Chain A
Amino acid sequence: MSDLVIQIRDLTREYQMGAEIVHALRGVTLDIRRNEYVAIMGPSGSGKSTLMNLIGCLDTPTTGEYVLNGQEVSRMPDDALARVRNREIGFVFQTFNLLPRASALANVELPLVYGGVGSRERRRRAEAALVRVGLGDRMDHRPNELSGGQRQRVAIARALVNQPAILLADEPTGNLDSTTSEEIMRVFAQLHAQGQTVIMVTHEPDIAAHAARIVVLRDGRIASDTPNQRGAAA
């Protein structure tokens, strides 16, 4: 298998907004290797959310190619994409997106439920993932019994539980104070150090600074793509 986890070629995405056609992405080409730590930046309207949705297989491009972990996913039907999301992608959202009525453990088990994993194995793996993010003693707590940082760590455990090809984070510190943000960034750095590919979408430069490579989007195109020595060293 190639060392490339993501190969994107001339990706475009257009939306119909009433009578108008919005060109959210105007041809993006991007390769990401295994165990890279990439931050995708850009002002609002630059197309970074659209790109994130495409990378996360929540959406399909108008034209172009996207090969994720050896699979061409740009023309896949819905249910096949759901399978890819389940196996290859671990999402971390700005608003955590935990199920409010379920315990931390049940939240982490959810991707395994959809992956068809048996209940005993599910429990074992979910517990291991929670221990890995330092929440071994909070498994039975519901989201509203946890702090913001703890909730995001539950979300990270959930993202990791299926050993995905990429960890895809959308403004992961957007709802957290600076101390907690640093704490989450340390978790990301740790995961990266353990070999995890991490892709993070953010508009905050000091958060992006933790990544080893920074891709900046502007008007639906890549404006710059530069290595970041400080982030790689950290």
Chain B
Amino acid sequence: MHIRDAVGEALETIRTQKLKSFFSLIGVLIGVTFLIAVVSIVQGMNVYMEDKFANKLVGLNTFQLRRVPNFNMGNVPEETWRAWMRRPRINYSEAKYIEAKMATPAIYSRYCDETLPVSWNGKNAKNVNIWTADAPIFQIKNLDLASGRVFTVQEAKLGAAVAVVGFDIADKLFKGTDPLDKNIAIEGIPYRVVGVVGKQGTLFGISLDNFAVVPFDAPVHRAACKLGFMDELHIRTADIPSMQTALTEVEELMRVQRRLKPGQEDNFAMQTAEGALSGWKKISAILFLALPMLVGVSLVVGGIVIMNIMLMAVAERTREIGIRKALGAKRRDILAQFIVESATLSTLGAAIGIAAGIGLAFLVRATTPLPAAIAPWSVGLGVLLGVTVGMTAGVYPATRAAKLDPIEALRQE
């Protein structure tokens, strides 16, 4: 008997018992759906986190010198938190010292931020992120202007009341009018809008365009930062290797300035994009670790269900087996028939599971910002698992069928 005939017969059997077949393959179906969907969503999440989260919030080849780490995953113990709060803030002279002593070429910007309302012509935008920063911040943060210009070195030095606004502010306050050269009010002081940053979109549903940048020494600085200190010193180098060098350099320069003894812990933090991702990397590693277990459990359950269905099929079709043997079926013909039937059933389950998994991934892609993408290896693995589970589950029932005595089997009602 050829494999093609066996598969044909198996499909015919499944076709005539659609509902029963469907229920029997649901375990494999769910297992494979899960495999495809989770792999594609987690991979999409990876792309999203690296692309959007890390590079937008921290910046490419960029790190921030801070008092405490910015992105913390999980709970920071009370004690650690208190120790962090006792750390000194980063001050101007420390920043100047670093700029002067660094061997690695880099650009720098002091940075503080505060959430404040902004108004123009009677209209209000609440909770706008006001950044006070030096001119290189635009380059460091990859901010492309849609119109106007960034502030000049002169304006920065003088702490002039000028502002470059994010797309949301331009949209909310100036709908229909050109915001350039209009005076917006921050904390009661008018700022002339000199530039508008292009739309950047959202991250986890939060707008990335709800901000305004003003010179570091602009009047609003009083609200954002203590005089003489900064929240962060942003440092951007040419590429990743030079950033690594710069990180060590900054650490050493800071330890020297703060007179830290060897073995004493740093009382400052350096936040990189990679560091910001470390929490997510842990989660995704756990997901990938748990995935084989979850998929494995549903496949084992699926396999047991299929084995039971096949045992039932052998019992129900004893007479059929007798007929086939009388007509010349050898043991291995019967064995092959039931193993192929079991494998076909399970592979069909896997195929539906793959379709469902792909569907789920596309749904996630369409309804969320995650760029969920199907991993070809997961589809291949799904098919392979389907065939393997089915064949394994079919061995025992098929052996029972093949061993049946034809006379006994023909006597069965």
Interface contacts (Cβ under 8 Å), in number, total 62
Other-chain contact of A114, B13, B320, B333 (Cβ < 8 Å): B333
Please state if A56 and B331 are interface contacts (CB–CB under 8 Å): no
A85 and B324 alpha carbons, distance in the complex (Å): 11
A101 and B12 contact, Cβ closer than 8 Å, known pairs A53-B407, A113-B5, A114-B324: yes
Q: Which residues of the partner chain A approach B319 to less than 8 Å between Cβ atoms?
A: 97
Asked if B205 lies at the interface with its beta carbon under 8 angstroms from chain A, I say no
Asked if A79 lies at the interface with its beta carbon under 8 angstroms from chain B, I say yes
Please state if A85 and B13 are interface contacts (CB–CB under 8 Å): no
- Which chain A residues (44-102) contact chain B, with CB distance < 8 Å? 53, 56, 58-59, 78-79, 82-83, 85-87, 91, 93, 97-99, 101-102
Q: Which residues of the partner chain A approach B5 to less than 8 Å between Cβ atoms?
A: 113, 119
- Determine the interface band of chain B, counting residues with CB < 8 A from chain A: 20 to 34
Please state if B16 and A101 are interface contacts (CB–CB under 8 Å): yes
A86 and B13 alpha carbons, distance in the complex (Å): 24
Q: How many residues of A contact B (CB 8 A)?
A: 27
Give 1 or 0 for each of A145-157: 1 = CB within 8 Å of chain B CB: 0000000000000
Please state if B331 and A91 are interface contacts (CB–CB under 8 Å): no
Q: Which residues of the partner chain A approach B330 to less than 8 Å between Cβ atoms?
A: 78-79, 82-83, 114
A115 and B330 alpha carbons, distance in the complex (Å): 10
Please state if A91 and B407 are interface contacts (CB–CB under 8 Å): no
A56 and B322 alpha carbons, distance in the complex (Å): 13
Please state if A115 and B323 are interface contacts (CB–CB under 8 Å): no
Please state if A115 and B328 are interface contacts (CB–CB under 8 Å): yes
Please state if B327 and A101 are interface contacts (CB–CB under 8 Å): no
Give 1 or 0 for each of B314-340: 1 = CB within 8 Å of chain A CB: 000001101111111111110000000
A110 and B320 alpha carbons, distance in the complex (Å): 12
Please state if A91 and B327 are interface contacts (CB–CB under 8 Å): yes
Q: Which residues of the partner chain B approach A111 to less than 8 Å between Cβ atoms?
A: 327-328
Q: Which residues of the partner chain A approach B329 to less than 8 Å between Cβ atoms?
A: 82, 114
A82 and B1 alpha carbons, distance in the complex (Å): 13
A139 and B217 alpha carbons, distance in the complex (Å): 95
The interface of chain B, by Cβ under 8 A from chain A, is 1-2, 5, 12-13, 16, 319-320, 322-333, 406-407, 410
The 5 closest A-B pairs by CB, nearest first: A86-B328, A114-B328, A79-B330, A82-B330, A111-B327
A-B contact pairs, 17 of them (CB 8 A): A56-B326, A58-B326, A58-B406, A58-B410, A59-B407, A82-B328, A85-B326, A86-B328, A93-B410, A97-B322, A97-B323, A99-B323, A101-B12, A114-B1, A114-B330, A119-B5, A162-B328
